[in-house]
Amino acid sequence: MKRGILTLAAAATMTINPLFACGQDGHDGFLPENDMWIGTNVKSAGGITESVFNEVLDRVEDIYAPIISARGKKMVVERNWSDGTVNAYARQTGNNWQISMFGGLARHEAITADGFALVACHETGHHLGGEPKKKSWWSTSWASNEGQSDYFGALKCLRKYVELDDNVSMMANVNVPAEVTTQCQTNFANVEDVAICQRVAMAGLSTATLLGNIGRESNIPSFDTPDSTVVSSTNHNHPKAQCRLDTYYAASLCDKHHDEDIVEGDFNAAQCARVDGYDIQARPKCWYKAK
């Protein structure tokens, strides 16, 4: 009898767990589990204001709610400004595709408005980012893994987010590292595309700085110090902060248009893949083992 109960319990777990990615119940978010809390009363907190928090999420929702609706699903954006949690989550419940965003993360000193948008884009990427998907010992999840959600977030979502802005003017007075400017100018001829490339890369730096800070990593993420790790199989968990910056940077340099849809089940469509001759623009080897 006990064996039967255990079997049913295992089956129930197998049914429930694939519904979560960056899941609150699994304590596994955009960041690994952490105990940082930045409440609304923390005077020294930097980050963004509640108004900007909502403006960013309004824009992401305006872009992706119709796209998700076209798939017969509903986008749900949970806004937890008063919650000091420094993380973000995605989940699917029935027809609801949800992203959960928190004021604690938005108030972190490393976060810019674009960095926060990139986090929201990452969570959206769990739903729409395609392969590779998260895996467990028994199955493949609905959710794109962490690295793929980062790549989608920068390559597709954040570019849609910024496309109607005057990016040339916005980036004119930003202190963009020479490495980034050189690579953006090498990969794009149009000045607007160069500015978008710079803007996406700098959003990635904001987010990676947050990741390194929370992870208490000794090395500060930089465009000049790419992660030299070469994985033997794809890492479906959270890569180190430098590796994640490399992913955002690669996506910023990729010339695939943001309106080219990623194809479910296809590891390379509408993305910069090494099989097609791409290198620095492709998903980094520090987490991705190419098919």
**pLDDT tens track for 16-73:** 343 445 644 434 689 998 999 999 998 777 899 999 999 999 999 999 999 999 999 9
- What residue spans of the chain are helical by DSSP H? 2-16, 50-69, 103-106, 113-128, 146-152, 158-162, 167-171, 178-187, 191-214, 241-253
Rounded to whole angstroms, the Cα distance separating 283 from 68 reads 25
Given a contact cutoff of 8 angstroms between Cβ atoms, the answer to whether 82 and 62 are in contact is no
Distances in whole angstroms, Cα of residue 201 to Cα of each of 75, 185, 252: 26, 13, 6
Given a contact cutoff of 8 angstroms between Cβ atoms, the answer to whether 83 and 41 are in contact is no
Break the chain into its structural domains and give their ranges: 20-276
DSSP line for 250-279: HHHH--S-TTSPPPTT-SSTTS--GGGT-S
**What does the pLDDT profile of the chain (291 residues) look like in tens digits?**
333 433 333 333 333 343 445 644 434 689 998 999 999 998 777 899 999 999 999 999 999 999 999 999 999 999 999 999 999 999 999 999 999 999 999 999 999 999 999 999 999 999 999 999 997 666 678 999 999 999 999 999 999 999 999 999 999 999 999 999 999 999 999 999 999 999 999 999 999 999 999 998 989 999 999 999 999 999 999 999 999 999 999 999 999 999 999 999 999 999 999 999 999 999 999 999 997
